[in-house]
Amino acid sequence: MAETISRRFQNLVNTYFRFSVDRGLHEIGLEEWKELSPVHGFTTEYIGLQRITRQVNEVVKLLLASKAIGKSGSTPLTQLPECVSMEIGTSNGSRTLEWKPTEASLPRFSNTTEQLASHIANPVPRTPDIPNRRKSHVFVPFTPGRYFMGRQDELEKLQHWLADDNEHRPQAVALYGVGGVGKTQLALKYATDHSHLYEWVFFANASSAEVLRNDFRKMHHQVCKSVEKDENFIERMLGWLASRDDRWLLILDNANHLQDVLPYMSRLVHIGQIIVTTQDQRVRENEFIRAALDVQSLSPKASQELLFARSGLDPFDKGEASAATALLKEIGHLPLAIDSAGAYMSVRGKSITEYASLFHKYQRELLSQPRLPGSSYHESVTGALEVNFKEIDTRPDASALLCLLIFLNRAEVTEVFLKRGVTEQQSWGPNGEAMTVSPQDNYVPQALIELINNPIRLGDALEDLTSLSIISRDGKAFTLHPLYHKCAKLRMSEDLRRKSCAEALMFLAHEFPADEYVLEKGDGELTRSFIPHIIYAYESFKHSDNDLSIDFLDSLASQHRFTGQLRPREVVAKLVLDGDLTYGQGEPKKNAHLLAWVYSLLKTSSNIYLQARALSVRLGITYYESGNYVGGITACERFLDSVKRSKETGQTTINELSNAEIGILQSTLAELFVTEVGSRSEQFVRSKALLQSWSPLNPNAPSRKEKISLGAQARILGKVLKDHGEWAASETQFRVYLDTYAPKGTQAEGWSAGDLAHTLMEQGLAKKAEDILRSYLQPRQVFLTSRMRTLDRRSDTMYLKMLLGESLRLQSKYNESEELMRQLLDHFFGFEGDLWHFEKFRVAFVMTVLARIHHLQDHYDAAIMRWKQMIGYCESEINVDEQRGKWGRDSFMPLIAELSLSDCYFELGKEDIAMPHRTHSLGLLENTDGQLWILGLGTYWLDMLRTKVMKGS
């Protein structure tokens, strides 16, 4: 009944309103209405919906402008200002209010008017009253119904352009955007909401010249009521519109070929008002268009409202709301796709979670669903997009470029990015020097090279894709809409999809920076910007629809006149390795998948450099990140032994490039020995021997790549010396590395600067350490926005801040140190998901600094709390997986914390509590004699505690 009445009154503007809290209250029974709390909550949520807010606003404004005109018995009669605003078959015709009612003359509804009026945050002014209300003739295919959501800003913009002046200003405006974004709905919503401003409202489909011609025939018949055939109907209709002195609005819908509507616009633009909807962004420059509005996808909030309204599901179900957020992001918040998904759920009785699961498996089928009951859209998602795809099919260059773009990450592609893929790039040569590599060497298709290197052809192709809203441009970058990204692949043949995916992979492999030491910038910024493309390339390679295999990649070599030094599979493996994936960057799970892909690509490769490079990456993101140092040692030793045997038997020849990577591996192995086993004399000797056993093939003239390995050797030797307690010698090595080898801005530089500061603190030079730390922190912070600093997860930056806090503590700058450490702790716990293994070490470090700040200021109760916090954290978070048994209560670091705890109890006079802790910790610390690697605590702290014990304090 409610829907019947709603349809009956849908054309009576601002007359019929119905408010029903139909979400969340269906399970509340009659007796439960006594419990008003949930009812109030659901009602508040309902009132907060954007469409309901808008309707309430209208009701209040109507009440404020209403007129008391008498009584019927005891019932007051109130006239609303717009009850007679349209022709509705009354004998009185149109009337206007003769006076503006005052607040005192308003009929009083107990609390209601005041409550509703207070609900309006920023009332939108109504269109100024027109002296003579107009008799409207509205000819539109449909009126947007209850599923029209959001678009308040866009409607206000149209109102500002077309309806804000008291004088009717003839002009044409345009709504442009991707297909299915709701341009037609928006134009019709404006037309029906403002139909009282016009005597005539017309709608014409301008999707083609013939369709437009037919719609003008219908318009002519509607106006002239003629049944005679008249082939001059277009001219007669244009003449009729041009001759009118009353107000009219014409919607030219779906005018994607602007040339088809220009003859009409040129005749009419100075007489009436025209709204053009198009996907062609070039409409902005059209001489007849006064203003153009880029219609974007719905906001996340409006998208949620539409999906839940269309599906009839409960918006207060948190699980469904979460699933909706993910689904809406995947379909790009496109109204057509949301309407289609919601209608499917409603008709088929599916939840959002169930639909999302189906969508991932059956995208083609769901996006191709025909129009479902209740939809305002007349075609499927793929149908709406297919029109543009067919147009692009007729333009070879645009089609070829689109075939590339859909297999790259859809966001933030630039012309500079494209140029890198078809021009010569730098890479490492076998001799360890930078060499120039052509795109042909890396199997980039010749046709693509010629297209992108031709500025005229590339510009035209980009213009074609932009004009149809397949890509949108923002400055120098352009982006594909998510659904174009999906649907373009779905319509491809299997052969074309496989070929395009493989060619995009080779294109990306060629343009990717060789590694950050060969880049224009040494901080890896360009490298990191490519990571999303690598991940998408991996996902495309693995997707079953693309049917892409490693053997197919290698088949590309036979299709090229040029043969590179690497096979196609090796080029792709090098792409991932050159991403310099390491712990502290990226997402661990994705990194692990990428690494597994590399090993499958290199399974039959005999390239020692790539094999060694793969192991270097594996040591970081598989062994080091998880704390499995023993596993890293085993893998490293096994590989180095196999290389040694191959050299001895003559099966392998080592060039400068391979030798440099082997040097990196040996340095890493030396570090793992000390990190895992400790810095006892035998491990120290073994580590130094490993470092000293490697040298460039020509020590007197090392290659550029071998110099990088020499730098790593100096850095690791500094760490080994530091962990063995040789502070001065360690300081020298770190200074050598930083002054001679360190690439500016890299994580390795930051780590070494932190280690240098550590050695200075051990030598009692805390102020010098502070100066060093600030000098390396400053350039890492100056280029980051506040938001980027909040999200920054680079381990070298955090390491520098931790040590800065320690240097401040050593100088008794307790307040400054505590503030920095609190911020850092909040920073760690602000990351999404679980902390990485090495980040947990750093959390423990920060806890020790906070504990010692209180300890040294005689705040023993607070210090006890912090020491217990650190011990508990070690046991629950670090003493797991590969580190189990190494960070429990009886291990080195927690034992120092326990000894600190006992000292606090002694200072408080609680010897009965203190003595068991002291006895336990000192007894076990004796068994760790020789271990000097103390994360953050510094040997000076343990020495101080032992000194107090010796003095009997």
Q: Of the spans 57-66, 331-340, 652-661, which averages the highest pLDDT?
A: 652-661
Predicted local confidence at residue 280, as pLDDT? 86
787 has pLDDT over 50: no
φ/ψ (deg, to 5) at 95? -135, 165
Rounded Cα gap, residues 123 and 643, in angstroms: 77
> Chain-wide mean pLDDT for the chain?
79
Over residues 229-244, mean pLDDT? 84
Alpha helices in 16-79, H assignment, sequence order? 36-48, 50-64
The model's pLDDT over 710-745, given as tens digits with 9 standing for 90+, comes to: 999 999 999 888 888 889 999 999 999 999 998 887
Q: Decide: helix, strand or coil at residue 283.
A: helix
The percent of residues above 70 in pLDDT, for the chain, comes to: 75
62 has pLDDT over 90: no
Q: Which amino acid is at 623?
A: Y
Predicted local confidence at residue 409, as pLDDT? 86
- 700 versus 677: the higher-pLDDT residue is 700
Weakest-pLDDT range from 423-437, 460-474, 573-587, 647-661: 573-587
Over residues 478-488, mean pLDDT? 81
Q: Give the confidence band of 90 by pLDDT, cuts at 50, 70, 90.
A: very low
- 861 versus 586: the higher-pLDDT residue is 861
- 155 versus 365: the higher-pLDDT residue is 155
Predicted local confidence at residue 538, as pLDDT? 84
Token digits of residue 653: 């020849």
Predicted local confidence at residue 490, as pLDDT? 82
The model's pLDDT over 19-53, given as tens digits with 9 standing for 90+, comes to: 666 544 444 444 444 444 445 555 655 565 656 66
> In DSSP terms, which residues pair with 435 in a beta bridge?
427
242 has pLDDT over 60: yes
Q: What's the CATH class of domain 300-385?
A: mainly alpha
Q: Give the confidence band of 603 by pLDDT, cuts at 50, 70, 90.
A: very high
Q: Residue 936: left (phi > 0), alpha (psi -120 to 50), or beta?
A: left
Torsion of CA 13, 14, 16, 19, to 10 degrees: 130
* Residue (of 552, 213, 256, 566) closest to 390 by Cα position: 256
Weakest-pLDDT range from 13-22, 519-528, 611-620: 519-528
Element (H, E) at 414: strand 413-414
- 79 versus 264: the higher-pLDDT residue is 264
CA 884 to chain centre: 36
φ/ψ (deg, to 5) at 403? -60, -30
Over residues 671-700, mean pLDDT? 80
Q: What's the first-to-final CA gap in the chain, in angstroms?
A: 88
Rounded Cα gap, residues 726 and 731, in angstroms: 9
Give me the CATH topology for the region 137-294.
Answer: Rossmann fold (3.40.50)
Task: Give the architecture-level CATH label for domain 766-950.
Answer: Alpha Horseshoe (1.25)
Q: Give the confidence band of 842 by pLDDT, cuts at 50, 70, 90.
A: confident
Domain ranges of the chain: 2-119, 137-294, 300-385, 766-950
Weakest-pLDDT range from 367-381, 830-844, 866-880: 367-381
Strand 200-205 with 137-138, pairing: parallel
Over residues 194-203, mean pLDDT? 90
313 has pLDDT over 80: yes
DSSP state of 621: I
Over residues 303-310, mean pLDDT? 86
Predicted local confidence at residue 523, as pLDDT? 47
The model's pLDDT over 73-88, given as tens digits with 9 standing for 90+, comes to: 555 555 554 443 333 3
